[in-house]
Copies of this chain bind each other. A is one copy, B any other.
Amino acid sequence: MKAEIISVGTELLLGSTINTDAADVAVLLSEYGINVYWHTVVGDNPGRVAEAVRRARGRADLIITTGGLGPTCDDLTKNALAEGFGMSLELNEGEERWLRGIWAERGYAAFTPNNLQQVMLPEGSTPLRNDWGTAPGCYFERDGVCVIMLPGPPGELRPMLEHRVRPILDKLSDGIIASHNIHFFGIGESEMEYRLRDYMEQLTNPTLAPYAKQGECLVRVTAKAPTAEAAEEMMRPVIERVLAEFGDLAYAVDGANLAEYTVKLLIERRVTLACAESCTGGELQKRITDIPGASAALLGGAVVYTNGAKNRILGVPAGLIEEKGAVSREVAEELAVRVREKLGADLGVGITGLAGPDGDGVHEVGTVFISLADGKTVYVREKHITGRSRSNVRLYSCQNALDMIRRYLNGLPVEEGRRDI
């Protein structure tokens, strides 16, 4: 089955509203294994909506529209669809009673005549009651094409998808699509794709596709099958092969990202953390505390952005900073060890480096030392994240800190550079 999504609204064309509706519809369709080949956005213009409908009729078995069902003169989706399929609009009496009931119930002002436009539906279509707004959707089948029209506001569209469209798709679909994401840190999307290219080309179902994410990347495995179980069965060997290829560069199958994975791992293992950040200026702790419940993992820490702060908050000796420089293995060690002690945490992490764009006359921009201390050992990773923007240097520094923590907790080699304390 092939579907096509048409979103109607001048606010989408102007870019003042982002088209989240198309993505919401697409996610549901792909769950049912229904292929979507086109999303089209048109404005509130009868001619162009009709053109989009004509085009879609020739290519798809299922057309889902979003937007343009309301009471104003801009709202013309139903007219255009009815015209496109040679139907007329007729007043749906059941929906009219319901709509007038809402007015009475909610104590709205006078029921102005333009509201009736919302309950004019293509002849013979099935109304889709909108309990989250006032404009009903509708559904009809004509000449072998199914059409579902849905309201545009996301707060109405989402529950309509769940409660009105899902039952229709249950009847229409043959099979489901399922996918798993394998998450990586420490390898780029292009290298990953290069190493997987031959394998990817052999595969048709399941398929493999690499994606770059913020400071990390993932490979998505997607299978189409009659049942969820069959899809899982098909994906299993592919996932195993990818994991075998990349070893501990893969940190998780499914889940959100490295920060969330690491925070959950800390919570699960009941390990507490304290952080001392220089060049990242609080970003690591911000990223950790983005995750609800992070207080079970992160006790707190320091933003030691200046040399004075390193000394005043954590007592890093001014002489050491002067001798070795703030961007040094030795200062990184002190940050992790001291912040851990200061907070009474199980693990301490330190980050010190040069995020740029200006240099310090000594180090290359992008030189960063990231440290991890438990009560016995302090590990230091030295990275040269060169040729990147300031925000990228900071992001990758945080990602490296998270990677050291997840390696430590999983009993993987953390880093060659280590010293017992």
Contact = CB atoms under 8 A, between A and B. Distances in A.
A369 to B, nearest CB: 16
- Chain A interface helix/strand/loop/mixed: mixed
A290 interface: yes
Nearest to A201: B73
A10 to B, nearest CB: 7
A288 B281 contact: yes
Contact of A14 (B26, B41, B108, B112): B26
Interface string A362-389: 0000000000000000000000111111
Copies in the complex: 2
Interface string A315-326: 000000000000
B306 A299 contact: yes
Contact of A343 (B209, B275, B284, B308): B308
A197 B387 contact: no
A134 B310 CA distance: 37
Contact of A309 (B114, B194, B197, B299): B299
B305 A298 contact: yes
B27 A15 contact: yes
Nearest to A398: B286
Interface stretch (A81-89, A119-127, A183-191, A233-241): A183-191
10 contacts: A13-B26, A15-B22, A15-B27, A40-B41, A71-B190, A73-B201, A112-B194, A282-B285, A283-B286, A312-B342
Given A37-B45, A39-B39, A300-B310, 5 more contacts: A11-B209, A15-B24, A18-B19, A40-B40, A290-B391
